[in-house]
Amino acid sequence: MTKAKPGAAIVALISGGLDSMVAGGLAREAGYRIFALTIDYNQRHRVELEAAGRVARMLGAERHIVMPLDLSQFGGSSLTDPDMAVQKTGLEPGIPTTYVPARNTIFLSVALGWAEAVGAHDLSIGINALDYSGYPDCRPEFITAFEAMAEQATKAGVEGQAFKVHAPLAAMSKADIAREAARLGLDAGQSWSCYDPLPNGRPCERCDSCRLRAKGFSEAGLIDPLLA
């Protein structure tokens, strides 16, 4: 990520997962003041929210807002709809049931609102194209379209100040991300990735998210401190 202008702030979407932690860590390394934003969308895996608080502290966030936004009212995703099962048979082609309709659009829009309110012009999100698991709103084409929209949507935008959506993991593999966490000195054991934890509070190690994370650490030749 290119170096921040002195005093520049960034609204960093922090889910509690490994990817947004590393994206936030790269923003901190670039010199941004971190405003951490977590959307509590009534996801099944509530343990993510506790991880988000730990990650925001680890990143030295000036402020951390946890914003309740109950997307489970809409249904349509196994991550929010208790009547839909989380897929555990391994990665398959196509858009998986864990896709939450328009999730990143909604998250980035809320981040844009906070950014405009505090005079920030940068947002960060931990999306990842290689391992994007078939979500349309994880693709670079989406990010570009969002930036163009933000320019028309905001007071700062119409006054000529562009918004930049930083997606520094876009071209990284999960192994790259695991290595970046280590390089940045971020304890991946504080993050959380599992979609459907076991009753004993451990990751299930079978959902897509667990499988991708395990593959990443394995390929990087690193031990996942969360499983240690």
Which residues does the annotation place in the binding site?
A: 14-24, 194, 204, 207, 210
71 binds its own copies (CB under 8 A): yes
Strand order in the sheet with 33-40: 63-68, 33-40, 9-13, 122-124, 164-166
Positions in 133-152 near its own copies (CB under 8 A): 136-137, 139, 141-142, 144-146, 148-152
Site for its own copies in 80-99 (CB under 8 A): 95, 99
Number of helical H runs and strand E runs in the chain: 7, 5
Q: Considering only residues 151 through 180, tell me which ones interact with its own copies, judged by CB under 8 A.
A: 151-155, 157-158
Asked if 184 touches its own copies (CB under 8 A), the answer is: no
Smallest distance, its own copies to C-beta of residue 125, A: 13
Residue from 87, 97, 109, 218 that binds its own copies (CB under 8 A)? 109
**Counting contacts by CB under 8 A, is residue 47 touching its own copies?**
no
Residue 80 or 191: the one with the smaller Cβ distance to its own copies is 80
Query: In whole angstroms, what is the distance from residue 130 CA to residue 110 CA?
Result: 25
Specify the stretch interacting with its own copies by CB under 8 A; choose among 49-57, 131-139, 189-197, 208-216: 131-139
Strands 33-40 and 63-68, by their bridges, are parallel
Dihedral (CA of 156, 158, 161, 163) sign: positive
Q: Per rule CB under 8 A, is residue 73 in the interface with its own copies?
A: yes
**Cα 65 to Cα 73: distance, rounded to the nearest angstrom:** 22
CB atoms within 10 A of CB 126: 25
3-state secondary structure 58-107: HCCCCEEEEEECCHHHCCCCCCCCCCCCCCCCCCCCCCCCCCCCCHHHHH
Residues of the shown chain interacting with its own copies in the complex, contacts defined by CB under 8 A: 65, 67-71, 73-77, 95, 99-106, 108-110, 112-118, 136-137, 139, 141-142, 144-146, 148-155, 157-158
